[in-house]
């Protein structure tokens, strides 16, 4: 039986001496590990400069189990909300600044959090 190899995204330290798995989150917030069936599939979703390593499914499960991650996603697709064109007056531009204590600069109103990347099975 042929061994299935997954192409798994990793991060590499600035010195190149340390490699770590790149982990993601599912739509419900749970952490997961992802793998791709080919280097081309990985590059299509994460970009051509994404570092990767080759692992079998059992090895990937063994690496993620101590972290409490039991979900592996093969060949995920990016799922993100549609991006609306910014209007002329965005809420953060029109929101008044908060009053600051004496001797301190005013603090701007917080902006909405940035959307997170979501994956789903094909």
Mean pLDDT per 10-residue section of the chain, whose length is 122 residues = 84 88 90 95 93 95 95 84 59 49 49 48 47
Contact (Cβ atoms closer than 8 angstroms) between residue 73 and residue 61: no
DSSP β-ladder status, 6-12 and 19-21: antiparallel
Q: Would you list the domain boundaries of the chain?
A: 6-81+115-119
Which pTM value belongs to this model? 0.61
Selection from 15, 4, 94, 97 nearest residue 55 by Cα: 4
- H, E, C per residue of the chain: CCCCCEEEEEEECCCCCCEEECEEEECCCCEEEEEECCHHHHHHHHCCCCCEEEECHHHHHHHHHHHCCCCEEECCEEECCCCCCCCCCCHHHHCCCECCCCCCCCECCCCCCCCCCEEECC
pLDDT at 27: 84
pLDDT at 78: 74
pLDDT at 83: 58
pLDDT at 18: 85
pLDDT at 58: 94
pLDDT at 122: 46
């Amino acid at each position: 039986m042929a061994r299935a190899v997954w192409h798994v995204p990793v991060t590499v330290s600035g010195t190149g001496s340390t490699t770590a798995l790149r982990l993601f989150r599912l739509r419900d917030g749970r952490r997961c590990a992802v793998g791709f069936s080919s280097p081309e599939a990985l590059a299509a979703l994460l970009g051509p400069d994404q570092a990767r390593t080759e692992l079998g499914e059992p090895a990937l499960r063994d690496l993620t189990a101590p972290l409490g991650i039991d979900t592996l996603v093969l060949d995920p697709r990016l799922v993100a909300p549609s991006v609306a064109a910014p209007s002329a007056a965005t809420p953060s531009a029109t929101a008044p600044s908060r009053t600051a204590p004496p001797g301190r600069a005013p603090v701007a109103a917080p902006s909405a959090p940035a959307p997170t990347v979501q994956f789903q099975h094909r």
